[in-house]
Amino acid sequence: MLSDEPRLLILGAHTDDAEYHAGGLASIYLQLGRTVKMVSVTDGGAGHHERSRDELIPLRRNEAAAAGRVIGASYETWDFPDGALQVSLDVRHRIIREIREFKPDLVLTHRTSDYHPDHRAVGQCVQDASYLVKVPHVVPDVPALRRDPVVAYMPRSEERRVGKECRSRW
């Protein structure tokens, strides 16, 4: 069973994906008094050309939490390695558990054809988890949902760029 109120879950690969790709919708949900949770599936440790993983991981976690606080959303950063995410049962089961526990009506995530391999992995794991959230013997420690949330894709960076190019040509 899903929640009585609309709830939004954003599953991004990196610590800036949820707010960059879906921050506007998250803000609207929150202004309407709805609940929003943003998740970075990876730890953010590969996203800088000079800082070490040991420096970067706590920095990215703090930045992500602060981004959530700005709009009033909760923000969680998981421990899967940034830049090395794989489609795996561990990731899929963590996503199933998150969807079941949070009970969102809408899940936003990356496309399975995205340019970034971490984005593709998250999108594929969410797609694989989408049916299985209703199967009781998969991740049996968390009760299965009775109905699926809507799963939609966040826009890709290149779609924003193409949209701007098209508008500027006309």
Q: Say which amino acid occupies 67.
A: A
pTM comes to 0.90
Q: Which residue has the tokens 């993983």?
A: 53
Beta strands in the chain (DSSP E): 7-12, 35-42, 74-80, 106-109, 150-153
Contact 125, 99 (CB under 8 A): no
Residues 99 and 9: beta-carbon distance below 8 Å: yes
pLDDT at 122: 98
What number is the average pLDDT over the span 62-87? 96
Q: Which residues pair with 42 in a beta bridge?
A: 80
Question: What are 73's two structure tokens?
Answer: 């959303």
pLDDT range class, residue 159, cuts 50, 70, 90: low
Q: Looking at the predicted structure, is the pLDDT value of residue 167 above 80?
A: no
